Chains A and B, each alone.
Chain A
């Protein structure tokens, strides 16, 4: 790969090593080509996403019809975890925990940033490949291994991890407290450790590539916003994931080596532990030091993808390109000093709470800038509503809807009564879950022609979008009201409300049924996507080279993938990526590698 780093100077010598025949294993399995690795990430993440979605349907059935026998549950969980088709309390917690873990880490971190950073960074920067193809391959295989371990943990006898995806000790440290804190939690910790290694290797590779392998003329301020988003995401990952590793490592020590980092003065299962002096709050600080940047690790790539897609399909430059970069950087920076807003009622010093209120609410400013810039980009555009564009617009909507409730939760005084209720669940599912998933779908529909050289079916794409949009809003919008009525999250059965406040109880049960119905509809809607996706890979119509008339460099590569991306010389960049509908031009787009015309000014 050393030759790659010197591209842009001499182009003559690489024609030879692109033509060597690759065998099946080096092409499809242990591939070092960024495009193939991106696709591997996507496939693995789609599979993990399906698993996590099925888990969510399983516990949604319990929430809507508590105590009723379900063949669906007994089919998936068997007699052990769903005797007579009724979910066990412990397994309910297990399902919730693994659903959260897979969705946050495996689908939205590995799947989103792993897929699109790999796919797009070299292609949009005009590089032959990532800085290190081998490390890139290693990053995928670590991801794969950690996925397998996480799936295996679902099948161990004592059950998967059951302490919530945040795995707060002491619950996660004490097998006596809940059965999932035995082997299941050990597997969770090992899986996440490997995942973190994968993420770190990947992120370092992305950063090095963005800094060093940009083609001639691709200055930092000519990079597409996708690349800016991936770049900042990678930096966040490098700075925050090691902290999660340290949190996990200390937890492993408490569990296996008898240390007392997180344990103090505990009597569990009738047994008086001698551990003294540890603090569960230490874990929470370490966890959320990753946990909050993680939200933006999930969200920024989605925002980057949608910026590109909205500009392309509005046939307009993204409004306020520099402000968009500035807001990505501001969000990235602020994300490191807000973690305490998850801990207002944990016993953390209240003064510290005030500081976190201040920093957290500041994030609303760059977020508002982004939203208004999107809106102005749409204004007086000439919108082409491809499925990708619809998903990108849907993302802006969920980013707003989920974002505004964050203003309430960031306010410590108001968080007291809403902390750990369904209001929080609704908030982060809309702003982080839906937005990121919409960004991912938008990305898949938009770059599918680049990934597989074929087109996806547009009509199925539309049907998928509408079912997903309606279904997802149908799930998470009523959930705010369940939370405002005071329903704590991670409750197995809300009919306990009948004992003391039957009116609230009835409301929760009614809305829970509505929510589950929408969840089932939304889940079935994903079948359309899966069908479309796999069908089109093999049988979709052949894609033209630049199907969306886009400006960025990836559309100057041939449809058939070649090793090294461009068969001849690397393209040179002469302009920013958003020259859409520029006055005086013949077409409504001018690719980045087209030199400035006589007398033409850069934007």
Chain B
């Protein structure tokens, strides 16, 4: 295949150069008239080609639409997506009409008014009425577009009620992790400094603070290890290594102090909301017909949660919580039937450049109907954050669930 492409490139290049020489020879003969004087023949030929190009452009546009569908992506799989698709279609009708109309005028005028012997151009410098017309008409069309657009936008970004299910999507190079809020529908608070091997999502509980402090002090690259290295009289470190170690040490000591502060100010009542959270990798399972309030977090660089089929997207920004919401309206099974493709799956993709493997950063999304979803979530009951990572921790005090999802920090 590759060789074929190179061959085609070479052939096209050769043709191009041959044409180039030939064209030059032909035009050299005609040079008697001078390059700035365009002959009627050239003029008319180009005018006809302009008209021909217009038809080619229009026909290929219609062909592409017919082949790949009106908008190429199939029907929306969320309540909100249905609304935006309706608006998108309306806008497409408007802009496609403008596209055909103005391009037609452009190419048709080029064809029609090409210079003809004896016909002088019409001196027509301005006409206030016409200019008014094409200021006011676009303004009216745009007013409609703006009003409809903002109405939809306001719906899409309005806060959700308490009944919306809370899910967090945690992003890092190059995968997604979901966290369900558990029984209380409240996501546990977090702080990035609490990240340890046992607590990848940095959830905030009394135990995780202790283990983070312990890790910072005694971990494999912890403070005591670095101090030991720096103070070891038997080894001689070169300048750059010892500088790097010192910098590392001072950064870790700073983080250590912050962790100690956190421990001193920690309210143990918050633990419960984190303990019952369910951490879910590989697949995001959602329930049809239920509104989701999705919080987004990024560990390293900006990522973007792009639910193509639900028409939902929001960036995940390090150090700044963001959110999106949608209500799945079709189960995966239903969509498979519509698409006539038994292996189809909804997908969550990363849509903000985040490094080399950006294109592979995705998570399968499965939408189940209510019964199937209930069964699935029941099967996860014994897989809470506490059960999986800190089974020995003191049982959580039974604190009433609070709808407050603002994060610590």
A-side residues, CB < 8 A to B, are 61, 65, 68-72, 85, 88-90, 93, 162-164, 168, 170-171, 174, 177-178, 263-268, 272-274, 276-281, 314-317, 319-323, 345-347, 350, 353-354, 357-358, 361-362, 364-365, 368-369, 371-376, 378-386, 390, 393, 396-397, 400-401, 404-405, 407-408, 411-414, 416-417, 419-421, 449, 455-460, 462-463, 466, 469-470, 473, 477-478, 481-482, 484-486, 488, 490-494, 496, 499-504, 507, 511, 520-521, 524-525, 527-528, 531, 540-541, 543-544, 547-548, 578, 580-583, 588, 603
Contacts and interface: CB of A to CB of B under 8 A. Distances in A.
B332 to A, nearest CB: 10
Ranked nearest first, the 4 interchain pairs of A and B with the lowest CB-CB distance are: A264-B319, A547-B36, A455-B35, A350-B157
A463 B19 contact: yes
B301 A170 contact: yes
Contacts of A504: 72-73
Nearest to B351: A488
B192 interface: yes
Contacts of A407: 91, 94-95, 142, 145
B363 to A, nearest CB: 10
A316 B354 CA distance: 52
Interface in B89-144: 91-92, 94-96, 98-99, 102-103, 105-107, 109-110, 113-116, 119-127, 130-131, 134-135, 138-139, 142
Interface in B304-344: 304, 306, 308-309, 311-315, 317-320, 322, 339, 341, 343-344
A486 B154 CA distance: 23
Contacts of B302: 168, 170-171, 280
Nearest to A327: B135
A321 B36 contact: no
Contact of A71 (B6, B57, B122): B6
Contacts of A382: 113, 115-116, 119-121
Contacts of B354: 171, 177
Nearest to B344: A501
B135 A369 contact: yes
B150 A420 contact: no
Contacts of B20: 460, 463, 527-528, 531
Contacts of B364: 500
The DSSP consensus for interface residues of chain B is: helix
Contacts of B99: 400-401, 404
A541 B31 contact: yes
B154 A354 contact: yes
Most A CB atoms within 10 A — which of B157, B254, B364? B157
B5 to A, nearest CB: 7
A481 B193 contact: no
A500 B319 CA distance: 32
Interface string B343-361: 1111101111111111110
Most B CB atoms within 10 A — which of A65, A382, A503? A382
22 contacts: A72-B5, A88-B356, A89-B357, A170-B302, A174-B300, A274-B251, A281-B317, A281-B320, A320-B126, A357-B150, A358-B146, A361-B145, A368-B134, A368-B138, A412-B150, A412-B153, A416-B311, A417-B312, A458-B27, A463-B20, A496-B360, A496-B362
A268 B300 CA distance: 5
Contacts of B236: none
A266 B299 contact: yes
A317 B255 contact: no
Most A CB atoms within 10 A — which of B2, B13, B68, B195? B68
Contact of A413 (B19, B87, B96, B341): B87
A369 B139 CA distance: 11
B351 A361 contact: no
B318 A263 contact: yes
Chain B interface residue number, banded: 35 or more
Contact of B113 (A381, A404, A492, A581): A381
A380 B314 contact: no
Interface stretch (B44-52, B178-186, B223-231, B393-401): B44-52
A267 B299 contact: yes
Given A89-B357, A361-B142, A502-B343, A484 B73 contact: yes
B153 A350 contact: yes
A272 B27 CA distance: 69
A420 B352 contact: yes
B84 A417 contact: yes
Contact of B106 (A368, A396, A580): A396
B38 interface: yes
Contacts of B53: 469-470
Contact of A317 (B5, B88, B123, B156): B123
B357 A380 contact: no
A419 B351 contact: yes
Contacts of A488: 306, 349-351, 359
B242 interface: no
A583 B409 CA distance: 76
A365 B142 contact: yes
A456 B31 CA distance: 11
B149 A411 contact: yes
A455 to B, nearest CB: 4
Most A CB atoms within 10 A — which of B5, B23, B87? B5
A500 B351 contact: no
Nearest to B139: A365
Contact of A458 (B42, B115, B139, B315): B42
A272 B255 contact: yes
Contact of A323 (B106, B126, B152): B126
Contacts of B150: 354, 357-358, 412-413
A477 B59 CA distance: 12
Contact of A93 (B31, B308, B356): B356
B300 A177 contact: yes
A263 B103 CA distance: 47
Given A171-B302, A268-B300, A581-B121, A462 B42 contact: yes
A266 B318 contact: yes
A397 B306 contact: no
Contacts of A365: 135, 138-139, 142
A265 B120 contact: no
A357 B123 CA distance: 39
B341 A345 contact: no
B74 to A, nearest CB: 8
Contacts of B55: none
B406 interface: no
Given A357-B149, A419-B351, A500-B364, A478 B64 contact: yes
A175 to B, nearest CB: 11
Contacts of B127: 319-320
A501 B347 contact: yes
Contact of A266 (B95, B157, B300): B300
Given A477-B61, A478-B64, A390 B46 contact: yes
B268 interface: no
A174 B299 CA distance: 13
Contacts of B301: 170-171, 174, 177, 266, 268
Most B CB atoms within 10 A — which of A353, A481, A544? A481
B351 A421 contact: yes
Nearest to A494: B359
B36 A449 contact: yes
A381 B27 CA distance: 27
B13 A381 contact: no
B173 interface: yes
Contacts of A455: 34-36
Given A383-B110, A420-B304, 16 more contacts: A65-B5, A93-B355, A168-B353, A171-B302, A316-B124, A357-B150, A361-B149, A385-B38, A385-B47, A414-B149, A456-B35, A481-B68, A481-B72, A488-B349, A581-B123, A583-B123
B134 A369 contact: yes
A381 B121 contact: yes
B42 A385 contact: yes
Nearest to B130: A376
Given A378-B113, A382-B120, A544 B34 contact: yes
B12 interface: yes
